[in-house]
Chain A
Amino acid sequence: MTTANQQSESPIVGLLVEFDGPEALKAAAAGLKTAGYTRCEAYSPYPVHGLDAILGRKRSLIPWMVLGGGFTGCVVALLLQWWTNAVDYPYLISGKPLFSLPANIPVTFELIILFGALAAFGGVLLLTNLPRPYHPLFGCEKFRRVTTDAFFLTVDAADPKFDEAATADLLRWLGAKSVEPYRNPASRRDVPGVLKAAVTLLIALSVLPVFLIAVHRYERKSKPRIHPLQDMAFQPKYLPQQSSPLFADGRDMRPPVPGAVAADALIDQDHFLHGTINGRPATTFPVPVTAEMMHRGRERFAIFCATCHGLAGDGDGVTAQLAFEREEPKWVRPLSLHNASVVSQPVGQIFATVSNGIRTMPSYSSQIPVEDRWAIILYVRALQRTRTATMKDVPKEYRKLLERIERSDAGTRAKRP
């Protein structure tokens, strides 16, 4: 193990003393204590109970560390769940409270156990100064048997009562099988330089990826960031301007369906689409008025409007009549289109009424296309004119004819009983 030359160089660390078994070990430890030694340690292949009391050791701190770990785990878990799920990113699930204990118990329980276990394991390492790659006793050939079947005591040379010869005698008297000094080797066989260099290099390299990621994350760049997982970038789907065997024309892009409107076609169309000019109801029609449009309007009016408003617009359509016959309590008579409040409205306002609905009348914008709504309004205007027109409105060539009809009508009425 050591040569005489080395022995003279390095001082004794302590005495290594072997005993026959646990009982002899305990007796010797008690003897040493009685003799006033304080810096001694026992080594055994399995825990020998009773030694701690003899050596005057206090109760371990580990239970308190585990308690602290468990408590920390509990607080961490509750704060984590409360802050993440109730504050930073509130999850509303079935109207339950954002934070309530029952749902958070399992994770809290697991973290109590996890932190407690880490504290127990970390506590052993911390309190026993492990990992400790080198110990002076590792130099003693004999000491290797401590993990198999040997029982040892050591007495530290730093002990105030230590005297190599006297202490050795005392130990022999206490029943030691063998006593030998142990010392730090003069030259510690160091870890090979290659290994040291390799480990240093590995540690340095392991920092590199973390550093690169951190730099990459906070750097400003004009190009897109590196995206290692391209799973969303390449998908089995059709992209614009590709071919497809599914359609007769061989294109993957399809022409718009009939009636599709380009998005920009709706800009500057307030008059036509909403019946307003500069935000006020329009007084004119956005489309040219034709006889054809009037016929279309009469047809559409009969389909969509007359059921309530009546064919002449008096508010006496079949639905209205039926409702009155049944004395429906909630039925409100539809407004007569000849009412002064309607007659005086600009066409844009009537368009808004048809498009959006008013009072109990629903919106018809989903059923009647815009052009047809304007046609209906044209027809409504014509109906209103039938009640408000004067002889001045009649073209001159028809006035005489009209007056003749008027007279004959009056004569016919007079003849009636």
Chain B
Amino acid sequence: MKRLLALFMAIAAVAIGAWGHGSTAARTGPEAHPEQSWGARNGLTWVATRKLTATSHYMIHDYRRDDGCALSAAPLGNADEVMAVLRGMATESDRAQSRLLIASLGPMPESALGVHIRRLAARVTEGHAPQPVMIVAQSQCMTAASGAPLSPWPAL
């Protein structure tokens, strides 16, 4: 009888946990085309998405603003890996002018530690919560962008 009670308690805990997880996911809701909906919400026109691998886990999204500024964005979940690619997109002379922006948190220096701390905060719920998104653009474009409250990346 005690054994059955222990087993029942275990099953009940899992069921309640799964229900809670399901409700969390339902609130945020994965979107079919997060790159386009995120761009539309922030006044950006989606241009292209570059898949770095066949599995679509690593992607960089290109956007264009009405004033002609080009921005590249990556959800923060993979920031440490795609950062080198984002940096490489600027020419050597432009690289010093590029800045990093964590969209939902405001501008920040290009600090690996800072990225990791925010990445950790973003992934505690493992992709079911909105993630900050990393933006790289030329500094003249970032000046305008950094003042605007961009929304976080939709739930994956």
Q: Do A and B bind each other?
A: no
